[in-house]
Structure 1
């Protein structure tokens, strides 16, 4: 066991006026299984990069361990998986690698295949196995679940629960619960570490937020009272000043002297009141707001919106799924489930009317308006105002939804290409929520999106009950949102 000591850490990106971290201090035990959580854009990946020595900072990070990062950057994916393993850990022992593979349900045959021929889930497992073979290293695992289906997530979480000595960035609540014993959270104004899994951290946070919201109400009342008192004092001093120039005043010198003394006194009182109000404002608490979202849903003129009837989908000559059939009726929230490569995204694209090689019937209602969220965010460039105009949506509503999803106003001025992965997905979701549509089709909408935003989106879908078909591997999201499940 050793410790990672972070003392008075302060960091800002070049050209930015805002610090990502400011005088942050905490301590991490290298035996911990540490879950790392916080809103998108708060600096989780930045902190991992600081541990890796990628940026200059002020303060100190003292650690007697070597750090490794997941996902390991694979430059030439045409090489075999075994060659990639050798790059990561030249001194690996073959039987130990096979032991890790068996725990992760990866076949030995995968080692001889080109890395890019492996599925995304297999690539994730190969990299994790190779990195955990390196003893005495502290592993920084950055969002490993984004390319894992539900079954693979459960398998990898069991694998990680048997390991120790890592920081895990993930927004999948069930995944975190299964494999961490401490939680490091970047809050609105603090960084905290708690013992326990994600659920115990969330319970404590909810309790603390409830207390701090009550304290906020008291502070706001005090601030309002002090500001009103300062305004009355200012008005009083103005009234005193006016007495110097009234008609019939026998001795303006005396009155002026008296008024000046009273003016000075009232200004001192006013300054004290304003200063007290400012100090109270600094105490407003460290609560992450979770405001309710809105959706631009329209009611379709028929009860049934679309139907797939005995559909089989082909990738080239290979049939990936067959006899898929389901109806989409008003108010349905349908989850499409299946392993990676089972054709989930292709089913969604058929609903959108895209040309996908298939057999069977796809029937869509006339004049059906569909809003689509894709997995891909690489096309996002330029500013948010231009994006809103391009998609013919209400810019004010679009930006209001982003604000509720924890976008700061400074983000509105930035190029979307510079947003974090989670912020880009929020742009796609906010655009979809702003569109007038009968049916929402979302393909893995929660990739990279923080836990609190996921909970806001869940609440929206349950409360407003739009008709939606989605692919998503977050088990909690499935259980809370889906009214029907289609298994491929």
Structure 2
């Protein structure tokens, strides 16, 4: 056991508008299985790069362990997998590698195949196995679940649960719950470490948020009451002070000592009320700093004139002469939220492309309603560039609504000034989702919409889809999301 100590860490990118980290300090035990969470753009990957020593920063980071980053950057993907493993860890012991692959249910035959011929899940598992073979290292695992199907996610989470000594960046709640024992969270104003899995951390956070909101309401009322009382007392003391000189219309003699004493008491009471009011204001200012804004989103699908929007009857899809999926039958009815489930490579994305009208080779019968308008969110965000204003104009959507949705998804106004190509992976995905929510459509087709999207935004999107009687077909490997959203599951 050893400690990783971060003290007074301050960092901003060159030319940036603001600091990513400002005087941050925390300690990590190298035996922990640490889940790392926070909204998109808060600096999770940046922190991993700082631990790796990639950027200059203010403050200190000290550790006895060596940091290793996942995913490892494979330069020669055409090499055999065994040669790639040797490049990752030249001193590996062969039987230990075979043991790790066995735990991950990977056949050792993959070692003698080109690395780029392996599926994404196989590549992920081989790299994890190789990196965990190294001794005296602390692994920085950056979003390993993206593009992995549910079955592989569960297997990888079970494998990580047998290990220790890592930071895991993931937005998949079930995945985190299966394999972490501490949570490091980047909040709005600080960073915080708590013991437990994600669900335990989230329950504590909700409890703290509810407490702070209740305290905030109570203090708002106290401040208002104290302000009123202070104003009345100050007014009374001024009136009493005036009587020291006596009434012009009265012949009575005024006891100036008594009146002055009375005015002083009232002034003291007024000062006490003012101090209490100021203390309440200061106490109130300490609240709500880390409550995440998660305003509800809206979805206004166009009404369609028929109850059935599309039908697939014994459809098979081909690339060349090879069928990627066979004999698929289902209908899309109004209000259906259909999850396409299956392993990677089973044809899920191809089916979505058929529905949106791409030129896909298929057999069987596919019927789609006339004048059906479809909004599509693709997996790919690599092409995104330019300003949000230009993007909205290019796609014919309302710019104000588009930016309002992004604000609700935790975009700061500073982000509106940046080129989209500089956004994080999660922020780019939010651009596609916000565009889709702005489009007039009868049917929404979303292909892995949650890749890189932070947990709180996932919950907002869940709430949106459950609140509105939306019609959609989607592919998503987040088990929690699918169990809440899907009204039908089509397994390939």
User: Residue in 2 aligned with 1:151?
Assistant: 151
1:227–1:360 distance in 2 versus 1, CA, 3 Å? farther
Write the deviation string for residues 337-393 of structure 1: whole angstroms up to 9, x where unpaired: 000000000000000111112111111000000000000001110111111111111
User: Residue in 2 aligned with 1:246?
Assistant: none
CA distance in 2 between partners of 1:273 and 1:208 (Å) = 24
Mind listing any 5+ residue stretches in structure 2 that lack a counterpart? Answer: 233-270
CA distance in 2 between partners of 1:41 and 1:173 (Å) = 19
The alpha-carbon deviation at position 215 of structure 1 amounts to: 2.5
**1:370·1:439 contact (CA, 8 Å) conserved in 2?**
yes
**1:229·1:273 contact (CA, 8 Å) conserved in 2?**
no
CA distance in 2 between partners of 1:372 and 1:123 (Å) = 28
User: Residue in 1 aligned with 2:252?
Assistant: none
The alpha-carbon deviation at position 188 of structure 1 amounts to: 1.2
TM-score for the superposition, normalised by structure 1:
0.89
Please state whether the residue corresponding to 2:146 is helix, strand or coil: helix
**1:332·1:468 contact (CA, 8 Å) conserved in 2?**
yes
1:89-104 alignment, distance < 5 Å = 89-104=89-104
Could you tell me which of 411, 416, 419 is aligned with 2:420?
Answer: 416
User: Residue in 2 aligned with 1:351?
Assistant: 355
User: Residue in 2 aligned with 1:394?
Assistant: 398
The alpha-carbon deviation at position 279 of structure 1 amounts to: 4.8
CA distance in 2 between partners of 1:13 and 1:223 (Å) = 41
1:338 aligned to 2:342? yes
Q: Return 160-169 or 185-194, whichever deviates more.
A: 185-194
The alpha-carbon deviation at position 143 of structure 1 amounts to: 0.2
The alpha-carbon deviation at position 400 of structure 1 amounts to: 0.9
1:30 aligned to 2:30? yes
**2:5·2:28 contact (CA, 8 Å) conserved in 1?**
yes
1:221–1:283 distance in 2 versus 1, CA, 3 Å? farther
User: Residue in 2 aligned with 1:214?
Assistant: 214
**1:333·1:465 contact (CA, 8 Å) conserved in 2?**
no
Could you tell me which of 437, 448, 457 is aligned with 1:444?
Answer: 448
1:239-278 alignment, distance < 5 Å = none
Please state whether the residue corresponding to 1:296 is helix, strand or coil: coil
The alpha-carbon deviation at position 151 of structure 1 amounts to: 0.2
Mind listing any 5+ residue stretches in structure 1 that lack a counterpart? Answer: 233-268
User: Residue in 2 aligned with 1:296?
Assistant: 300
1:332–1:46 distance in 2 versus 1, CA, 3 Å? same
Highest Rg: 1 or 2? 2
**2:356·2:374 contact (CA, 8 Å) conserved in 1?**
yes
Please state whether the residue corresponding to 1:62 is helix, strand or coil: strand
Please state whether the residue corresponding to 1:440 is helix, strand or coil: strand
1:459 aligned to 2:466? no
CA distance in 1 between partners of 2:112 and 2:427 (Å) = 38
The alpha-carbon deviation at position 226 of structure 1 amounts to: 8.9
1:53 aligned to 2:46? no
**2:448·2:477 contact (CA, 8 Å) conserved in 1?**
yes
Which ranges of 4 or more aligned residues in structure 1 deviate by more than 2 Å? 215-232, 271-284
**1:223·1:280 contact (CA, 8 Å) conserved in 2?**
no
The alpha-carbon deviation at position 80 of structure 1 amounts to: 1.4
User: Residue in 2 aligned with 1:118?
Assistant: 118
CA distance in 2 between partners of 1:189 and 1:217 (Å) = 21
Please state whether the residue corresponding to 2:193 is helix, strand or coil: strand
1:81–1:221 distance in 2 versus 1, CA, 3 Å? farther
Please state whether the residue corresponding to 1:447 is helix, strand or coil: coil
CA distance in 2 between partners of 1:162 and 1:467 (Å) = 41
CA distance in 2 between partners of 1:302 and 1:58 (Å) = 62
Please state whether the residue corresponding to 1:163 is helix, strand or coil: coil
CA distance in 1 between partners of 2:73 and 2:442 (Å) = 42
The alpha-carbon deviation at position 13 of structure 1 amounts to: 1.2
The alpha-carbon deviation at position 66 of structure 1 amounts to: 0.2
CA distance in 1 between partners of 2:353 and 2:95 (Å) = 43
User: Residue in 1 aligned with 2:237?
Assistant: none
